[in-house]
Structure 1
Amino acid sequence: MKKIYVVRHCEAQGQDSNSKLTEKGLIQSKSLSDFFSTTRINRIISSPYIRAIQSVVPISEEKNIKVEINVYPNAYLVQGIYLTGLKNLKKHMKIWT
């Protein structure tokens, strides 16, 4: 069975597409990599936003997997179907809190 992990970016300096991670965000990205260290990952897909890419770079480097940039940053890929907006995403996924 395939699993999809959806991860929000780590703490960033702002919400602009060019905003970088804060020092805390960089530490969080390393923790994220540690969390997934024993998880089999085949692909890493990120929005083109700097904060999102920086969030997954440690995983990419540890797993030696190239980060794929999603050319539709406002859409979510679920089971091969692009859904626009979080409202549609919630209908098709179980959300854990």
Structure 2
Amino acid sequence: MKHLYLIRHCSAEGQEPEASLTKDGRYQAVMLANTLRTVPFDKLYSSPFRRAKQSIEPLALALDKSITIDDRLSERILTSEPIDSWLEELEKTFNDTSYKLDGGETSEEATARGLRALEEAIHHTKEYALMMTHGNLLTLLLRHYESSFGFDTWKSLTNPAIYCLTFDDNSYQSMKHINLERQDTQ
């Protein structure tokens, strides 16, 4: 059995690739490390976006593991141009997986990109791997395995969002949502 933890990054200051974690996001990253520190990860993968790398760094330090940066874990590109109606347009991409805006990716293209990274991670992992990614791509990957995941799932995702997918002989078996262990601060 192989276990792949798919995780949405912690709270960030923005959506651009160089956006950093907020103060709460930095706290979430420490709590994420506390939540997952007992999992014997073989491999840690991350999107190249700063917020994703900052989300996984406390765990990597706690486990003394290196982080493999994988561009295929970058957030899905909706469009190359800023648009006011981005939420409505994003919903369309969940209803029509071939729908594409100028300079953007279809849901099919983004899912295929993410699946290539996921399948490679499963292949190279002895038992446990972690992939730090972004909300839209995470939802598309989860939807590949469980068709009930969609736009409403994306809207309800937390930062971070943690899912463990189990594979047997590279064949998908199950999915489990993992709650972040939070500690009150004084």
| TM-score under structure 1 length normalisation | 0.84
Question: Aligned-pair RMSD on alpha carbons?
Answer: 2.1
Aligned residue-pair number? 94
Instruction: Determine which structure has greater relative contact order: mean sequence separation of CA pairs < 8 Å that are 6+ residues apart, divided by chain length.
Output: 2
Identity of aligned residues (%): 27
Superposed, 1:22-61 pairs within 5 Å as 22-61=22-61
Q: Comparing both structures, which one devotes a greater share of its residues to helix?
A: 2
Ranges in structure 2 where 5+ consecutive residues have no aligned partner: 77-112, 122-136, 147-174, 179-186
Q: Residue 17 and residue 68 in structure 1: after superposition, are their counterparts in 2 closer, same or farther (change >3 A)? A: same
- Rounded to whole Å, the distance in 2 between the matches of 1:44 and 1:88 is 17
Q: Comparing both structures, which one devotes a greater share of its residues to strand?
A: 2
Ranges in structure 1 where 5+ consecutive residues have no aligned partner: none
Superposed, 1:1-97 pairs within 5 Å as 1-72=1-72, 73=74, 74=76, 75-76=113-114, 77-80=117-120, 86-87=139-140, 89-92=142-145, 94=175, 96=177
Letter in 2 for 1:55: S
Deviation of 1:90 (Å):
1.4
Q: Residue 87 and residue 37 in structure 1: after superposition, are their counterparts in 2 closer, same or farther (change >3 A)? A: closer
Q: Residue 39 and residue 49 in structure 1: after superposition, are their counterparts in 2 closer, same or farther (change >3 A)? A: same
Structure showing greater Rg: 2
Q: Residue 88 and residue 6 in structure 1: after superposition, are their counterparts in 2 closer, same or farther (change >3 A)? A: closer
Match of 1:6, SS? Answer: strand
- Per-residue CA deviations over 1:5-52 (Å, capped at 9, x if unaligned) read 000000000010000000000000000000011111111100100000
